[in-house]
Amino acid sequence: MADDDIAREIQRKANEQIPEHTRIEIPDGLTEDEAVAAAIEQYKAATGIELPEADARAEVRKKMAGRETT
């Protein structure tokens, strides 16, 4: 099985276990580090799965769009 096939299978299985309605709400006024920590905490509480910091940080940076706080 190729690496891409393995990655797709892992993602498929994760998607089956994570509710589609899981939504992370980041409060206003947080720094990037605080927002990342909040996202990781909320995701784990909702799914029981530890979200990798690199994934959370990439998404938080995209959503913050260069602002200093959320």
Rounded to whole angstroms, how far apart are CA atoms 43 and 52?
10
Instruction: Select the more confidently predicted residue: 11 or 37.
Output: 37
Rounded to whole angstroms, how far apart are CA atoms 11 and 4?
11
When pLDDT is averaged across residues 41-54 and rounded to a whole number, the result is 88
pLDDT at 8 over 80: yes
Confidence of residue 31 (pLDDT cuts 50, 70, 90): very high
Q: What's the sign of the alpha-carbon dihedral 42, 43, 45, 46?
A: positive
